[in-house]
Amino acid sequence: MPLLWLFILILALGLIGFILGRARALKNANGDIRLLHSLPTYYGSNVLLAILIPGLAVMVIWLILQPMVIQGQVSSMIPDTAYSDKGALNLVMSDVRRVAEGLDIAVEQGTLSHDQARDIRTELTDIRARLGAVGVALGSNVESYVLKAAQKYRTMNAVGNWMMTVAVLAAALAGFAISYMRTNKDMRARNSVEKVILGLLIAAASIAILTTLGIVLSLIFNTIEFFKLYPALDFFFGTTWSPSFGGGSELGILPLFWGTFYVSIIALLVAVPIGLFAAIYLSEYAGPKVRAIAKPLLEVLAGIPTIVYGLFALLTVGPMLMTVFGEDGGLGWMQGGRSVMTAGLVMGVMLIPFVSSLSDDIINAVPQAMRDGSLGLGATKSETVRQVVLPAALPGIVGAILLAASRAIGETMIVVLGAGAAAKLNLNPFEAMTTVTTRIVSQLTGDADFASAEALVAFALGMTLFVITLCLNIFALVIVRKYREQYD
Amino acid sequence: MNDMRIVRKDVDMNDTKISAKGVQVFYGDTHAIKDVDVEIKDKTVTAFIGPSGCGKSTFLRCLNRMNDTIDVCRVEGKILLDGEDIYDKRVDPVQLRAKVGMVFQRPNPFPKSIYDNIAYGPRIHGLAKNKADLDDIVEKALRRGAIWDEVKDRLDAPGTGLSGGQQQRLCIARAVATEPEVLLMDEPCSALDPIATLQVEELIDELRENFSVVIVTHSMQQAARVSQKTAFFHLGNLVEYGDTEQIFTNPQDERTESYITGRIG
């Protein structure tokens, strides 16, 4: 039975269970809802869940285990002479699967009958041509052991699927029977349904956390792999970045790190004053009408995709800076449109809404009593903002700035398009430089050998960035939390 | 009421500090204060009493134009401070508030040190010529706020770390430090326990020597204890205004009597 049908069957069974469970509870209470422990829908839901959870659980576990078991069984049929290492065995096995699938499709389309498919022989039929006719292209002629393995694969799969259907239905029906029999007016259906919902919530939270863990682990393993090929000391303290896939590359992180740092600093120098002043205006001075229009408009900036900012940097800001600081402007500081300044300015614009929106919320959280107290002493509005509101909001604002900083460090598209690709340690902000993120992109795009230090260095770079932004984020959260306690 | 206060009352109650004539206040469409006339004497504690929502706090906030910070609020009529209209266009509300200080319902020390809390007003208004001068002002204000002995060893500690009663006395000291002429207090004891309330009430009585004090209170006992003049507000009207003793012992208006005896309110 195809998987989809089985799934729908279980759902239908669940629906029936829902209706029956609800009806049984009502009948048990002689139709009087007040005699029930829970609302009737909870009894229905209880039966529904008792059908779906075992049924789907068996299905998922079976789907994970069955290929593993079959793989083990079938691969033992392949003669040792046919492969040299594990990779080659995998290639043979994928051939086996392809032939098996091809035979299935051929049967489905009617070019082969069931019996023909089962009895087919390499000696008698050109299987490659037959399967090619139904749209399954094979790389080479089918060896006889591949065909035998494929036949075994087909029968085991068929048996397995059939057994799975039985097992899933049995589990679902058992769940149905038990929960249906237990349904009576005193059963605490609401509590058990809520327990399941709690389980769902926990599962959702764990998936998010486990994913993070998985990402970190994959970074760590690849980073360790990299440090086996390239000395860590040279990586962290090397001042030259010149990867060459031919070998003999120098992979020092310092020039990249300097680029990231420089671009981020310029971005923050742009974003922090503008964002902060905008937040002060919006929260302290602007009337409700201006605020209602201006705040969403400012936050639209946060919704612009960074690649669009990158284009803006490349096509507008870069040439604009060139006319002032380039050869044409007479200063001659700038060689091309791509520079640290270009990327930094545009990234600063991107960060404005982060700083302003967060700071605005934090300034608004300062109690009105503080402002009243200051105004009541004869302070002007700006004195109140400068001397009472901002100091009170400062820890929160620092938190907002740190969050913006970690955003700046991780930003990629703007620097790819705006900052250039030359890795150098230079103080001139009008030089093209490159950042950690852009190098990760360039090391992993293209036909790189994933086992080489030149490709693996991307993971070490990513890990370094991850650690830095993680520290910044934790620092920011600690500060924001400390601030929160002040007025509770 | 003890005899001491009655003696003082005879000496002090002579000239008018604030005089309000036909004051109307609107919050949007709501008519919050209706045609209030009142004369507040110098070096006197004047209590505003009345049920919740009767407009006593609103009227108090008119006296130093704190209502200006609320967009929808509109004030009509005349309020004269020493004969000058405080709602005149030439009057800067900021300077007015330096002359008419305010203490709020809940203690609201700034998240700064105790010293900086007190020094805040003097610094803004340039009252101190140098550091030593400022130290003197801070000490004097804290002494007048009856909190000097408790905090003199920890002036650098944050003001928010004090107890509720201490915080409120700190706020009173902070208001006193700018040398105001009138001190407005909006239910200054409503967030305090009885002992702290007693301390603040004693302090109010001492402040009377130098300032005209106007206090809004929900507690009639408190009004009777600390004030020499009492005004009773009801539904935005000033129902009755007179000597505290007379209001509490021999009210002229039926509504005042009902409120004092606990039949309305």
What CA–CA distance (Å, rounded) separates B76 from B25? 6
Nearest CA to CA, how far is B260 from chain A (Å)?
31
**CA nearest to B224, candidates B12, B3, B11, B49:** B49
Are residues A397 and A362 in contact, defined by beta-carbon separation less than 8 angstroms? yes
Q: Do A322 and A275 belong together in one domain? A: yes
Q: What chain B residue is nearest to A393 in terms of C-alpha separation?
A: B111
Cβ-count burial B61-86 (b if 16+ within 10 Å, e if not): bbbbbbbbeeeebebebebbbeeeeb
* Total Cβ atoms within 10 A of residue A3: 13
pLDDT in tens, A91-106: 788 888 888 888 888 8
**CA nearest to A460, candidates A150, A267, A226:** A226
Q: Do A168 and A276 belong together in one domain? A: no
Mean pLDDT of A406-425: 86
The alpha-carbon radius of gyration of chain A (Å, integer) is 33
B41 touching chain A per CB within 8 A: no
pLDDT in tens, A5-36: 999 999 999 999 999 999 999 998 888 888 88
Q: Is the dihedral of CA A326, A331, A335, A337 positive or negative?
A: negative
pLDDT in tens, A28-82: 888 888 888 888 899 999 999 999 999 999 999 999 998 888 888 888 877 777 7
Kindly list the residues from chain B whose CB atom is less than 8 angstroms away from the CB atom of residue A485: none
**Percent residues over pLDDT 90 in chain A:** 34
Q: Do A55 and A197 belong together in one domain? A: no
CATH, residue A284: 1.10.3720.10
Q: Do A160 and A197 belong together in one domain? A: no
Range of the domain at A401: 241-487
Nearest CA to CA, how far is B111 from chain A (Å)?
6
Reduced to 3 states, what is the DSSP secondary structure of residue A367? coil
Pairwise CB contact (< 8 Å): B124 & A379: yes
pLDDT of residue B7: 43
pLDDT in tens, A215-226: 999 999 989 988
Tell which of B68, B97, B118, B167 to mutate to test the A interface (max A CBs under 10 Å). B97
Q: Do A164 and A92 belong together in one domain? A: yes
Residue A236: inside a domain: no
Q: How many CB pairs under 8 A join A and B?
A: 72
pLDDT of residue A36: 87
pLDDT of residue A108: 78
Q: Do A163 and A93 belong together in one domain? A: yes
Answer whether 0.95 is exceeded by the pTM: no
Kindly list the residues from chain B whose CB atom is less than 8 angstroms away from the CB atom of residue A379: 94, 120-121, 124
Q: Do A63 and A27 belong together in one domain? A: yes
The residue assigned the tokens 């200051």 is A374
Residue A234: inside a domain: no
Reduced to 3 states, what is the DSSP secondary structure of residue B153? coil
Number of folded domains that form chain A:
3
Range of weakest confidence among A341-350, A444-453, B58-67: A444-453
Residues of A with CB under 8 A from a CB of B: 287-288, 367, 369-380, 383, 387-388, 391-392, 486
pLDDT for residue A486 is more than 60: no
Q: Do A99 and A197 belong together in one domain? A: no
Residue A330: inside a domain: yes
Residue A229: inside a domain: no
Residue A339: inside a domain: yes
Residue A232: inside a domain: no
Q: What chain A residue is nearest to B185 in terms of C-alpha separation?
A: A376
Q: Do A251 and A206 belong together in one domain? A: no
Pairwise CB contact (< 8 Å): B124 & A373: no
- Residues of chain B below pLDDT 50: 1-13
Q: What is the ipTM of this complex?
A: 0.84
DSSP string, A66-114: HHHHHHHHHHTTS-GGG-SSHHHHHHHHHHHHHHHHHHHHHHHHTSS-H
Q: Do A381 and A320 belong together in one domain? A: yes
B213's CB contacts (< 8 A; 6+ apart) are B44, B45, B46, B182, B183, B185, B204, B207
Pairwise CB contact (< 8 Å): B110 & A373: yes
Residue A148: inside a domain: yes
pLDDT of residue B10: 46
Are residues B167 and B152 in contact, defined by beta-carbon separation less than 8 angstroms? no
What CA–CA distance (Å, rounded) separates B38 from B237? 11
What CA–CA distance (Å, rounded) separates A107 from A111? 6
Q: Do A175 and A218 belong together in one domain? A: no
Pairwise CB contact (< 8 Å): B108 & A369: yes
What CA–CA distance (Å, rounded) separates A82 from A146? 10
Q: Do A454 and A368 belong together in one domain? A: yes
C-alpha B231, offset from chain centre: 13
What CA–CA distance (Å, rounded) separates A26 from A184? 8
B153's CB contacts (< 8 A; 6+ apart) are none
Lookup: tokens for A239: 């001042």
The residue assigned the tokens 């659980």 is A57
What CA–CA distance (Å, rounded) separates B202 from B204? 5
The one-letter amino acid at A462: G
Last residue of a domain, one of A142, A162, A187: A187
Residue A231: inside a domain: no
